[in-house]
Structures are given as C-alpha cells and as structure tokens.
C-alpha cells in the first residue's frame, strides 16, 4: 500500500510491521456535530481501517473526543448549558451519526477528561527535562528548545505565529517567554472546570491531550496518525514536539495522514462560519450509501465543494447498485470476470486510497451485472460487489 505522508510530502510505501497497525485519529470537539466535513474526514479513516483489515492486518483504531476545550467552554456559556452536558449531548449525536453512516466501531474511543492523569505526567516530564516552564500555575512548551519544530508543517518560524493565532494561540499571554510557546497546562480561571496538578488547579492544553491518549493506547510510536488538514499546524506539529521530547523516542508518528477540507457556499464548511450541512439531516432523506458514495467520489486529499443537488444524482446511482445485488440469479454462466474488477478496485485503494477510482469500478461491475442476460448466473459477481462495497462501508440497504 502507498499513502501520501504529510511529513515527507510524498506518496510513500506504508509498511506494516509485525502484522499490526496502530491508528490514532483526532476526533470531534463536541459542540456542534456532525457536519459533512467531519464525515468526510472520519469516514476516510473508516475506509482505511476496513481495507487494512481486509488485507489481513491486525488494526487498533483509536479516536478521541476533545471534551474539554476553549470552544466548548465558550459554546456552553452561549447556550447556558453546563460544559460537560454539552459535550455528552454532542458526542452522543456524533456517535449516532457515525453508526447510521455504517462506520466501524472504534477499538478505543477516548475522552480527554478521562486521561488528565496521563497528561499531567507528560507535562511533568517536559518540565523536568527543561523543555517546559511554569509561570503563575500555567505550564508552557518552550518552542525555542526544539530545533526540529516545524518538521511536519515545513513552515518558516515567521509564518507560524499568524496561523497559530488563528487556531487558538494567545500571543499576548504575559506568562509566556515567547509568543509561539504553547500551553501544556492552564491555570484555573473563574467559572472553568479544574483538575489538580503539581502546579495548582487547572486544565490541560489542547495539544497535550492527544499525546497522552495516543501513547496510552498505541505506545511511543504511532503507525498512522490523522485528522483534518487544518490540524497539521499547530496541533500536530505541537504533538510531535511534546511527544518526542518527553519520551526521547523518534518518530512519534511513522505516517501522517490528513484529509482535505469540504467547502459549502464558497467557503470552508466550519462550525465557526455556521455554513454546515449536517449528516443527520441528509440521513433523514438519503441512504447512508448515497452519502458515502458522494463523499468518496472525491479524493481525500482534494478540497471540494458540497453541492446539494449532487445528492439526488448519487441517490440514483446508489439505487442502481442496490438493484444489481438484488437481481435474481439464474443458472447460465454470465461469464463475468470478477477478478478483473477486484484487481482494479484494490489497485486504486492501495494507491493512496483512490476512492473515486474504486467507486468507478463498483459502478462498472453493477452495470455488467445489469447487462447480463436474464437467465444468467450473476451470483459470484453480486457477492463480489457486496464484498468490495463493504470496504467502502456500503450497506446495500435503503434509507431509514
């Protein structure tokens, strides 16, 4: 299998070591779920997990939920709802959406608030080793101490700060030695939840949460770590810095994989902009298979725009696939070369998860089944269509 590696910026061979693959995916911050951009990201990894398991590999699939975060606290204040109740409500909605979209269950679905002890331990290691410092009950990673900071994003230091500021960094924090230093532990603030730590009550910073959860379940080196493209910097860059300097083990991640953004009405679909197409709304009208086929008619690394009218088109294509697997099979050999379709399908998916090509093969196989004589035996072709469709997460079931 060959997959694009965000760190090397090339499509690299992905080598499975000892038959096992550990995958960690940065999940939702649960305050407004689940939009189609979320679904595109998380179902990409769903297909990857299905493919690896079909290839015979043992996969441990970990996804987290960032259930304590600045955005959750802000949203909870806006709604007049307790932060933890908001998190529980939106997490349940997300998990229900994923179930309805036929996502494979996670081996570990981990909540940040359940791993604060591990976070505190890693922060203490960084303080002890001189990579982090404490001021007034908050602890910061000192970016200047890490000469390799930037090796994932390949950004120049001068270009980092504006992006970090757009994504949660506070450059004017008076406790910081430098504006780009990032928070590992935040001192208690009025009205915010807190946990005990060696530096006093407070809560974890965003980046340390994923380091703690990833290493807790997958060890000091992760085979594949992924998420949305917008997490490359600063989130995943900071994860590398704190993880490798705390453990002394390189690499923290063997293969970085990031999914492109989905646009709607000309802008990136996002909670902050409010231009959301919710999966739950689409699922009330269309089968999960049609949603998946629409999503993955686009390559996971290519930015694309969701168009409402395309759902009708994919709904019709989905119905044709469903009809192909339900067509009555008779006795005369149809002579369909199923191995040709299998080979084409797997060649595409093993080439950087080329789902548009794989979907094209499924449609061609369905067309071949439909074109077979009425008295033909198409049972093997139908079984092949179901098998290959399952790797793309298709259920061959109608909406409902």
Kindly state the average pLDDT of the residues 189-202.
Answer: 96
Is the pLDDT score of 68 beyond 80? yes
For residue 359, give the nearest of 271, 279, 298 by alpha carbon: 298
The span from the CA of 111 to the CA of 92, in Å, is: 12
| Residues above pLDDT 70, as percent of the chain | 98
**Of the listed ranges 67-71, 149-153, 389-393, the one predicted with least confidence:** 67-71
Kindly state the average pLDDT of the residues 158-176.
Answer: 95
Kindly state the average pLDDT of the residues 163-187.
Answer: 96
Give the pLDDT of residue 335.
Answer: 80
Give the pLDDT of residue 332.
Answer: 66
Give the pLDDT of residue 323.
Answer: 96
Note the Cα 242 to chain centre separation in Å: 21
Give the pLDDT of residue 330.
Answer: 75
Give the pLDDT of residue 207.
Answer: 97
Give the pLDDT of residue 247.
Answer: 96
Kindly state the average pLDDT of the residues 202-214.
Answer: 97
The span from the CA of 68 to the CA of 75, in Å, is: 11
Quick: pLDDT tens for 103-153: 999 999 999 999 999 999 999 999 999 999 999 999 999 999 999 999 999
Give the pLDDT of residue 33.
Answer: 87
pLDDT range class, residue 275, cuts 50, 70, 90: confident
The dihedral region occupied by 9, where left means phi > 0, alpha psi between -120 and 50, and beta the remainder, is left
Give the pLDDT of residue 336.
Answer: 87
Choose between 332 and 203: higher pLDDT.
203
Give the pLDDT of residue 385.
Answer: 97
Is the pLDDT score of 334 beyond 70? no
Kindly state the average pLDDT of the residues 144-165.
Answer: 96
Is the pLDDT score of 63 beyond 90? yes
Q: Domains along the chain?
A: 17-263 (3.40.50.620), 285-298+309-391 (1.20.120)
Kindly state the average pLDDT of the residues 80-92.
Answer: 95
Give the pLDDT of residue 271.
Answer: 66
pLDDT range class, residue 274, cuts 50, 70, 90: confident
Give the pLDDT of residue 214.
Answer: 98
| Residues above pLDDT 90, as percent of the chain | 90
pLDDT range class, residue 331, cuts 50, 70, 90: low
Kindly state the average pLDDT of the residues 339-356.
Answer: 98
For residue 226, give the nearest of 102, 47, 13 by alpha carbon: 47
Name every residue whose Cβ is closer than 8 Å to that of residue 23 and which is 6 or more positions away in sequence: 45, 48, 49, 59, 60, 61, 62, 222, 223, 224, 225, 226
Kindly state the average pLDDT of the residues 192-197.
Answer: 96
Angle at 25 between CA 19 and CA 30, to 5 degrees: 150
Cβ–Cβ < 8 Å for 4, 301: yes
Cβ–Cβ < 8 Å for 235, 26: yes
Q: What letters, b where the CB count within 10 A reaches 16 and e where it falls short, cover 222-247?
A: bbbbbbbbbbbbbbbbbbbbbbbbbb
Q: How many CB atoms lie within 10 A of CB 92?
A: 12
The span from the CA of 364 to the CA of 141, in Å, is: 53
| Averaged confidence pLDDT in the chain | 95
pLDDT range class, residue 348, cuts 50, 70, 90: very high
Is the pLDDT score of 88 beyond 90? yes
The span from the CA of 194 to the CA of 272, in Å, is: 26
pLDDT range class, residue 400, cuts 50, 70, 90: low
Quick: pLDDT tens for 229-264: 999 999 999 999 999 999 999 999 999 999 999 999
């Amino acid at each position: 299998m060959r997959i694009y590696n965000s760190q090397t910026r090339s499509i690299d061979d992905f080598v499975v070591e000892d038959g096992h693959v550990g995958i960690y995916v940065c999940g939702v911050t649960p305050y407004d779920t689940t939009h189609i951009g979320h679904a595109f990201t998380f179902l990409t990894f769903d297909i990857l997990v299905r493919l690896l398991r079909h290839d015979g590999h043992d996969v441990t699939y970990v996804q987290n939920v960032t259930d304590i975060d600045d955005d959750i606290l802000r949203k909870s204040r806006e709604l007049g709802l307790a932060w933890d109740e908001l998190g529980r409500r939106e997490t349940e909605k997300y998990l229900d959406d994923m179930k309805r979209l036929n996502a494979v269950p996670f081996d570990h679905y981990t909540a940040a608030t359940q791993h604060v002890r591990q976070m505190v331990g890693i922060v203490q290691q960084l303080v002890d080793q001189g990579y982090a410092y404490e001021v007034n009950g908050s602890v910061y990673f000192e970016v200047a101490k890490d000469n390799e900071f930037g090796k994932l994003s390949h950004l120049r230091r001068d270009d980092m700060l504006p992006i970090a500021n757009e994504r949660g960094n506070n450059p004017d924090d008076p406790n910081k030695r430098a504006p780009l230093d990032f928070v590992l532990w935040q001192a208690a603030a009025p009205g915010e939840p807190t946990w005990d730590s060696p530096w006093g009550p407070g809560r974890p910073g965003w980046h340390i949460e994923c380091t703690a959860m990833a290493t807790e379940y997958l060890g000091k080196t992760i085979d594949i770590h992924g998420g949305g493209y917008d997490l490359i910097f600063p989130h995943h860059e900071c994860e590398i810095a704190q993880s490798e300097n705390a453990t002394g083990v390189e690499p923290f991640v063997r293969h970085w994989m990031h999914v492109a953004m989905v646009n709607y009405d000309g802008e990136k679909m996002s909670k902050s902009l409010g231009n959301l197409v919710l999966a739950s709304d689409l699922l009330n009208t269309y089968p999960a298979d049609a949603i998946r086929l629409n999503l993955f008619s686009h390559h996971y690394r290519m930015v694309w725009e969701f168009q409402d009218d395309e759902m009708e088109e994919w709904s019709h294509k989905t119905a044709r696939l469903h009809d192909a697997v339900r067509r009555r099979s008779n006795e005369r050999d149809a002579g369909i070369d199923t191995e040709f379709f299998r080979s084409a399908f797997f060649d595409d998916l093993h080439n950087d998860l080329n789902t548009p090509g794989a979907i094209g093969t499924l449609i061609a196989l369905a067309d071949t089944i439909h074109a077979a004589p009425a008295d033909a035996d198409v049972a093997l072709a139908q079984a092949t269509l179901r098998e290959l469709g399952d790797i793309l997460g298709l259920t061959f079931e109608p909406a409902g």
